[in-house]
Chains A and B, each alone.
Chain A
Amino acid sequence: DTGVSQNPRHKITKRGQNVTFRCDPISEHNRLYWYRQTLGQGPEFLTYFQNEAQLEKSRLLSDRFSAERPKGSFSTLEIQRTEQGDSAMYLCASSVPLGTSNYEQYFGPGTRLTVT
């Protein structure tokens, strides 16, 4: 499978715990995005990497959230001291094969987080 993969697919945690999600983008893509989707809404942008550089962060990304892409390949999104309002689907997307102008973003299956 050469698509975007995300792990875990589901995570249930208690309020106050830390959680970490992983995203593996399509291998030749140099851009990686994180989005959050809640019920009845479209995905909302959280942050974006070009290779290993984090170039943009949304105001939705509070201090409790941190994302990394250490070698420009996979990325992790960590949420510290989770709150019930963090319950959502966390989506990862990648785009732009090197040497092309194809800007479509391709999404992974998402990680469903439930904070109890």
Chain B
Amino acid sequence: DQQVKQNSPSLSVQEGRISILNCDYTNSMFDYFLWYKKYPAEGPTFLISISSIKDKNEDGRFTVFLNKSAKHLSLHIVPSQPGDSAVYFCAASVDANSGYALNFGKGTSLLVTP
């Protein structure tokens, strides 16, 4: 069963605008959430993470928001750049301190147009 869901397979945004990628999860035991970016023929690259004790984490152009009551998180990219075009994966873990596996969504393909 898919415990992490990314319901939008693709998203197109103009350069300079905000990109918002969404992710929903079903397992209330998840306590650590991550976003990865993936280019074709490469492994996923870590972008940003958030612990369940926080509701927001920011790193440069990337901000992740967590809404635990709705079991929803989102990644905001501002401003979007053409180099941001890639597949973005949301991932979640139970008890990250114990080294539990990451559960991934199916990904959202972001296209940033000039």
Contact = CB atoms under 8 A, between A and B. Distances in A.
**Chains A and B belong together in one complex:** yes
Nearest to B102: A105
Given A4-B43, A104-B49, A109-B43, A40 B97 contact: no
Nearest to B2: A42
B104 A42 contact: yes
A11 to B, nearest CB: 14
Interface in B72-86: none
Interface residues of A, number: 30
Interface in A40-56: 40-45, 48, 50, 55-56
Interface stretch (B14-22, B62-70, B88-96): B88-96
B46 A104 contact: yes
Contacts of B97: 101, 103
Contacts of A58: 101
B34 A107 contact: no
17 contacts: A35-B102, A42-B89, A42-B106, A42-B107, A43-B102, A45-B101, A48-B101, A55-B99, A56-B99, A104-B46, A105-B46, A106-B46, A107-B43, A107-B46, A109-B43, A110-B43, A112-B41
Given A4-B43, A42-B4, A107-B46, 10 more contacts: A42-B89, A42-B105, A42-B107, A43-B104, A44-B104, A45-B102, A45-B103, A48-B101, A103-B97, A110-B43
Interface of A: 4, 6, 31, 33, 35, 40-45, 48, 50, 55-56, 58, 91, 93, 95-96, 101, 103-110, 112
